[in-house]
């Protein structure tokens, strides 16, 4: 069953009825809505498509937002650690390059390790931006007698 904005034109009693029906329903429901109470009450899994990747989150919408933020912060922390490690190895390799032959070979080994780290670097998912816009005032309505 697909519900696309099911609460848009419902009063409180109709919303309560819908929530109760969804709670009793034992099948799968795809809910498309901006109604946060509906999402928190009626779903137990979120499929989020962002930057070409589909991720699954267990729980309601509020739980998804928490898990998404935790995951993003973890990615940022890991990416910062990887960048630090890459920088340290590059500096060490550069300092060894002009020295003895064995140190130059070690610098090459470090260069290959840096390449592998760069290739496998964590890509941090961008935080969603809030879009704000202002609609122009509509022209005054013309009334006819």
Model pLDDT for residues 49-90, shown as the tens digit of each residue: 887 889 999 999 999 999 999 999 999 999 999 999 999 999
Mean pLDDT of the chain: 88
What pLDDT, on a 0 to 100 scale, did the predictor assign at position 51?
79
What percent of the chain is modeled with pLDDT above 70?
A: 99
What angle in degrees, to the nearest 10, is found between the helix axes of 101-119 and 61-97?
160
Instruction: Return d(Cα 65, Cα 5) in angstroms, integer.
Output: 20
- Give mean pLDDT, residues 24-50: 88
Predicted pLDDT at 128? 74
**Pseudo-torsion of CA 66, 68, 73, 74, nearest 10°?**
110
pLDDT tens-place string over residues 99-126: 888 888 898 999 999 999 999 888 887 7
Q: What is the pLDDT at residue 76?
A: 92
pTM as predicted: 0.67
The DSSP line for 83-120 is HHHHHHHHHHHHHHHTS-HHHHHHHHHHHHHHHHHHHT
pLDDT at 143 over 80: no
């Amino acid at each position: 069953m697909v519900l696309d904005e099911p609460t848009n034109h419902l009063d409180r009693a109709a919303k309560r009825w819908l929530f109760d029906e969804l709670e009793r329903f034992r099948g799968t429901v795809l809910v498309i809505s901006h109604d946060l109470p509906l999402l928190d009450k009626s779903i137990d899994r979120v499929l989020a498509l962002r930057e070409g990747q589909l991720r699954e989150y267990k729980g309601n919408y509020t739980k998804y937002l928490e898990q998404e933020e935790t995951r993003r912060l973890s990615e940022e922390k890991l990416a910062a650690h990887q960048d630090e490690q890459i920088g340290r190895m590059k500096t060490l390799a550069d300092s060894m390059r002009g020295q003895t032959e064995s140190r130059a070979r070690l610098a090459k080994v470090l260069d290959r390790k840096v390449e592998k780290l760069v290739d496998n670097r964590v890509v941090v998912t961008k935080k969603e931006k809030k879009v704000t816009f202002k609609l122009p005032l509509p022209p005054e309505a013309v009334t006819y007698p």
